[in-house]
Amino acid sequence: MARILLAEDDNSLRPYLARALRRDGHDVVSVRDGMEALMHLGPDKFDLLLADIVMPELDGIELARRAERSDPNIRVMFITGFAAVAMQSHRQGKHAAKVLSKPFHLKDVVAEVQSLLDEAGVLSTDRPEDPGGL
């Protein structure tokens, strides 16, 4: 099971993303913005940061930079409703970030997360056969 830090300011989307990732067997810490996510980066270790790019106070790009400084092995995936041209080559740390554009289907997010984690060699042993209704 992978540990995922989900930072998404959309209150209607965040619980659905968290639930879909949990159904896929991941341990998800879900927060409403980048500042709240920062509080988890020091004491907790995560395999993946899944962050919206545009958030109040601290955007996803700066959050990713700080996360990669804190843990160079963390993988980063951005979700955004805006054109992702500026993010096409986010390579602060050792790994390129993946960018998913909204709107998206939850199955696609779960599949992209799993692909990124598989590539990173993060095993998810508790994954159910069928994530159930995504």
Whether 17 is in a domain gets the answer yes
Whether 19 is in a domain gets the answer yes
What CATH number does residue 52 fall under? 3.40.50.2300
Nearest to 75 by CA among 91, 59, 88, 55: 91
Whether 131 is in a domain gets the answer no
Whether 89 is in a domain gets the answer yes
What digits encode the pLDDT tens for the residues 5-50? Answer: 999 999 999 999 999 999 999 999 999 999 999 999 987 899 999 9
Whether 77 is in a domain gets the answer yes
Give the range with max mean pLDDT: 18-27, 82-91, 116-125: 18-27
Return the pLDDT at 103.
76
Return the pLDDT at 24.
94
∠ at Cα 37 (36, 42), nearest 5°? 110
Whether 126 is in a domain gets the answer no
Is the model more confident about 129 or about 117?
Answer: 117
Q: Which domain holds residue 57?
A: 3-120
Average per-residue pLDDT for the chain: 83
Cβ distance 77 to 101 under 8 Å? no
By residue count, the chain amounts to: 134
Whether 18 is in a domain gets the answer yes
Q: Total structural domains in the chain?
A: 1
Return the pLDDT at 85.
46
Residues 47, 53, 56, 58, CA torsion sign = positive
> Where on the phi/psi map is residue 75: left (φ > 0), alpha (ψ -120 to 50), or beta?
beta
Whether 125 is in a domain gets the answer no
